[in-house]
Structure 1
Amino acid sequence: MTDKHELQILLTYWDVVLASSLILLVLVISWRLRLRLTSTLLMAAVRTIIQLSFIGLILAWIFAREQWYEVLIILTIMTLIASSAAKNRVKWGYKGLLVDTFIAVSASAILVTGLAIGMILQVQPWYTPQFIIPILGLILGNSLTAISLTSNQLINDIHEQHARIEMRLTLSATPFEAVHDSIRAAIINGMTPTLNSMLVVGIVSLPGMMTGQILAGADPTQAVRYQIVTMFLICVSSTLGCTLSALLIYRRFFNREQQLILPN
């Protein structure tokens, strides 16, 4: 008799097809309510299948080889894509936004991932792909959302409240003091999704990482510990990313004479 703690359900391609068919329900809802999301939903579904299948093949190959330079290439590509995705979500762009976003995303994600691999999990060697790639992916996925929310709100606020900022400057405020309220509000906005997740995790929702481990037959207590670690890593990375992004962005709106400018 199979031990219940060793129970593992292996998914077949037919199972994936059945799950994919559920998208038809979403398409029907979109059609009936005239949401005009049919093409977007179909594109999203197709891209989900293609992208995950493709990355699955790549990861299987990398996991089998465990070459540090191949892992480093994958990590770099992931960081570049995350930076580009965060930048593209900002309404008011400017020349250099991609650079600022890349610095914020990469610095926060690499620092936190390095601490997780080197100090918490103590993985040897550090480039073991089954650890470093999923951890960086989790952190990047959440950080890019937080950073894009922060960037978008801060840039919008500076554009919309430039008169108030200029008035503060005329009253001898420094550039940072003039935009401090906007910076604070933008960072809070970027951190809100992460904080909301932390407030309800384990009560309202079971995160994907924990659910995946349990479904794969892992010990629930170990799954919980991994989830706690990842939640804190995500929180720290998001905070660092939002703060760094805000500090880099606000400097773009002031010249050497500490005058407000609106870059484009």
Structure 2
Amino acid sequence: MHSISWLSLSWCLIPVLLISTVYFYWNGKPTEVLLSAARMALQLVAVGYVLVMLFEQPSPWITGLVLTVMISAASWIAIRPVRHQPGFLRPAFIALLVAVGFHLVIALKLVLGVETWYEPSVMIPLAGMFYANSMNAISLAAERYYSGLKEGKDENAARMAAFHAAMIPQVNSLLAVGLVALPGMMTGQILSGVSPLIAVRYQIMIMTMALGASGLGAALMLWQLGRNKISVSIKQAVGR
């Protein structure tokens, strides 16, 4: 596998500066892209050092702590479009906990047959991918549900429209894989020398588990919002 030096990595500034320039000339906020990219780099470097430590000394407590940080951050990011509206954070946390936890059990125990659940080299990458996909689905579901209610839709119509919107990226990924692009995990394994046929099996597992976690997470989020009568407070806020 090709090694990337820190000096060579500096060329990755080009796409960041390119998009920042577009923001600047179109009267946007280039600082948003620059700060996000800087934060991404710092977070990944920090995580890299943490993972090195975890891989050397696996611990169920440390792995559990990492997972807690991940789900807390994912819950907070998921409700970003509706953060001004109270009542979304707890449903997002519960939806992520149940949806991702359920699919991690399937992936780790039934598909991979992992004996030690807290093995960080397996648990953390899988949890990260599942959380990221579910987080995006929940975020889209929450935003579409909120917007639908504001537009005057009834709760059932708003919920169905929100669920459809949340699943669009997942369904598009299933349709495009292999034809439009090779997904990240499969590409990484091939670059590291793994047989493409083995990489394919891993990718099928990832994509089906991500689909299930995202769909279940979005459904649980919307079910909780309806059960908690969030729709009533939203309609009262807009005067409907």
TM over 0.5: yes
Shift of 1:91: 6.0
Question: Which residue is 1:118 aligned to?
Answer: 109
Gaps of 5+ in 1: 1-7, 166-178, 255-259
Shift of 1:97: 1.5
Question: Which residue is 1:3 aligned to?
Answer: none
| Percent of aligned pairs with the same amino acid | 31
Shift of 1:35: 4.3
SS of the equivalent of 2:13 reads helix
Are 1:14 and 2:2 counterparts?
Answer: no
Q: How does 1:13-32 map to 2 (within 5 A)?
A: 13-31=6-24
Are 1:57 and 2:25 counterparts?
Answer: no
Question: Which amino acid in structure 2 is aligned with residue 19 of structure 1?
Answer: C
Q: CA–CA distance in 2 between the matches of 1:20 and 1:215?
A: 22
Are 1:89 and 2:81 counterparts?
Answer: yes
Shift of 1:92: 5.6
Preserved contact between residue 159 and residue 262 of structure 1 (Cα < 8 Å)? no
CA gap of 1:25–1:152, structure 2 versus 1, over 3 A, is closer
Are 1:232 and 2:208 counterparts?
Answer: yes
Question: Which amino acid in structure 2 is aligned with residue 73 of structure 1?
Answer: L
Question: Which amino acid in structure 1 is aligned with residue 184 of structure 2?
Answer: G
Question: Which residue is 1:42 aligned to?
Answer: 34
Shift of 1:100: 0.8
Q: TM-score, normalised by structure 2?
A: 0.91
Out of 77, 102, 107, the position equivalent to 2:93 is 102
Preserved contact between residue 86 and residue 101 of structure 1 (Cα < 8 Å)? yes
Q: CA–CA distance in 2 between the matches of 1:248 and 1:121?
A: 32
1:22-62, CA deviations, whole angstroms, 9 ceiling, x for partnerless residues?
A: 4333333434x324232112112211211100000001101
- The structure having more radius of gyration, on CA atoms, is 1
Question: Which amino acid in structure 1 is aligned with residue 46 of structure 2?
Answer: F
Question: Which residue is 1:176 aligned to?
Answer: none
Shift of 1:125: 0.8
Preserved contact between residue 108 and residue 240 of structure 1 (Cα < 8 Å)? yes
Shift of 1:20: 2.6
Preserved contact between residue 82 and residue 88 of structure 2 (Cα < 8 Å)? no
Q: CA–CA distance in 1 between the matches of 2:88 and 2:20?
A: 36
Gaps of 5+ in 2: none
Q: CA–CA distance in 1 between the matches of 2:80 and 2:224?
A: 17
Are 1:139 and 2:110 counterparts?
Answer: no
Q: CA–CA distance in 1 between the matches of 2:62 and 2:8?
A: 32
Q: How does 1:80-229 map to 2 (within 5 A)?
A: 80-90=72-82, 93-94=85-86, 96-161=87-152, 165=154, 179-229=155-205
Q: CA–CA distance in 2 between the matches of 1:14 and 1:20?
A: 11
Shift of 1:18: 2.2
Query: Aligned residue pairs: how many?
Result: 235
Q: CA–CA distance in 2 between the matches of 1:194 and 1:204?
A: 14
Preserved contact between residue 91 and residue 152 of structure 1 (Cα < 8 Å)? no
Q: CA–CA distance in 2 between the matches of 1:47 and 1:105?
A: 23
Question: Which amino acid in structure 1 is aligned with residue 71 of structure 2?
Answer: T
Q: CA–CA distance in 1 between the matches of 2:223 and 2:18?
A: 44
SS of the equivalent of 2:79 reads helix
Q: CA–CA distance in 1 between the matches of 2:221 and 2:28?
A: 34
Q: TM-score, normalised by structure 1?
A: 0.83
Shift of 1:21: 3.9
Preserved contact between residue 214 and residue 220 of structure 1 (Cα < 8 Å)? yes
